[in-house]
Chains A and B, each alone.
Chain A
């Protein structure tokens, strides 16, 4: 099993994991151990901001797994991310207990406000952390399973598949906006107090959440890497490049697609669950199609089909977004558009893809 996970790991992969390990340890230390006056001190808000970037990186990784390696361009991966986020948000809401504005020991504030008398079934057991974590993984996986079962069996591919994934996330957006869905309507879930008994505002909690996000990104990377380096990954690439050839060789294409789609959805769900406690809110806007499209841009910028590139693309683009929306608030969307056009024209393989190609052609000289 260990051999299965680590064989074929190249140096770049090892560096990436090492970099995440260093980040995961160093940033919390610089935040917690150094006095605020120190030049090397990292303020807590930055720790959470970078935690958010890493959660996005995990979403990008999940998207690259299906898009880069199996050619499934999902324009609705934000839906799985948001569902994972909602599952975590529901746990955090139930932790508030009687500290809410209306001080109801069971019902979250918005339910009291809507005059509800009892907890909807969907909210049962969400006061248990383990149950909530199980839902973080199960709900997105199950949706991906049902959706994928129909879509892949009916052989919906290419742009048609992209469009229905987009409709999926849009439908969920509309549904979650409704108050009677029982998920807080357009306000979503917020005002979280604590997680597993630790105050969610405390710098220590923030630092630990950051470290866990880095750890989950590393784990997600290892799982994705192991999948694409195995024979399974070879078949995925075959499906991407010549689907009918793969089918005529006797492979059940729909099963391969379904499996990678479900794994990817679960990873996106985990990313969402890590995102919510660090940004402190989850609302229906996370389902917006634009979010899912932005995630596609991160992957394209970093390099489709490289995994590491997807993660790096997510961090870079979001870093740029934070900077631009702060400095030139009106300019961000133009910047994003220009970035996408620029990458498509000048770096069609993305940053990492271009670097790898250059490195390989310099080294071996057996390029196609």
Chain B
């Protein structure tokens, strides 16, 4: 496992979390390589979101190791420290700052100092317009940059949140159900976007939409009852009998 560890951007080993006796994660182990694109599937309650909570510091695991970038122990850090290490997260429900413009949402996300004192004294007036421009053009919201984020459609909010993630320039992006509420065309665009940013960033996508997962064309991990049920190509995973039983259906 040691070579796995040093080559990995995210390394989970025997992670368990229980809530009031319910085991949300049960000896969960899997490894994501640097720059890898990975899809996580699984039925409701399989532990997908809990896994993201553990990685981003929202939930502390009862036991097990969570290691980032080959050496950083994530179990002792909180959300903002983990975000500063270079892990970005998109929530299942799109979460943007409704009362600020699209541009300001991105500005707040752009990597750089985050302390309260620096923010009082002109911090980030030097953020290059280019960084914002770049993010805006990737998520195609350039024409709407002065709109309040709260006035965007559901799909546009999803994209804005992905844009904020990109502006953070993280090493690892955790993306929870990015295409929920999107039209087919938007779903295709999102798949294209995520495959294009993988490589430079590692991307872990949780999604139920199987045609979307197929479009991502990457390694798939299927979770069930807090542990890995199957892992491999989309074809091998979807042909797996147990995956069909618990998740895909016959």
Contacts and interface: CB of A to CB of B under 8 A. Distances in A.
A235 B108 contact: yes
Interface of B: 56, 58, 79-80, 83-84, 88-89, 91, 95-100, 104, 107-109, 114-117, 119-125, 146-148, 150-151, 164, 168
Given A238-B108, A247-B80, A249-B108, A230 B120 contact: yes
B116 A252 contact: yes
B122 A242 contact: no
26 contacts: A4-B121, A230-B122, A231-B120, A231-B123, A234-B100, A234-B108, A234-B119, A235-B116, A235-B119, A237-B97, A237-B100, A238-B108, A241-B97, A248-B83, A248-B88, A249-B108, A249-B164, A250-B83, A250-B84, A250-B114, A253-B80, A255-B115, A256-B116, A366-B147, A368-B147, A368-B148
B114 A245 contact: no
Contact of B89 (A235, A238, A248, A368): A248
Interface in A239-289: 241-242, 244-253, 255-256, 258-259
Contacts of B146: 366
A247 B79 contact: yes
Interface string A193-234: 000000000000000000000000000000000010011101
Nearest to A245: B95
B120 A227 contact: yes
Contact of B95 (A242, A253, A258, A368): A242
A248 B56 contact: yes
Contacts of A256: 116, 119
A241 B98 contact: yes
Nearest to B123: A231
- Which of B84, B95, B107, B164 has the most C-beta atoms of chain A within 10 angstroms of its own C-beta? B95
A248 B119 contact: no
Given A231-B123, A242-B96, A366-B147, A249 B104 contact: no
Nearest to A251: B114
A364 to B, nearest CB: 10
B141 to A, nearest CB: 15
A245 B107 CA distance: 14
B124 A231 contact: yes
B131 to A, nearest CB: 14
A246 B168 CA distance: 12
Contacts of A244: 58, 79, 91, 95
Given A231-B125, A238-B108, 16 more contacts: A231-B120, A231-B122, A232-B119, A234-B107, A237-B97, A238-B97, A241-B99, A241-B100, A244-B91, A244-B95, A245-B91, A248-B56, A248-B88, A249-B83, A256-B119, A368-B148
B150 A368 contact: yes
A246 B79 CA distance: 10
A258 B79 CA distance: 18
Nearest to B85: A250
B116 A248 contact: no
Contacts of B123: 231
Given A249-B109, A368-B150, A232 B122 contact: no
A251 to B, nearest CB: 5
Nearest to A235: B119
A248 B114 CA distance: 12
A357 to B, nearest CB: 13
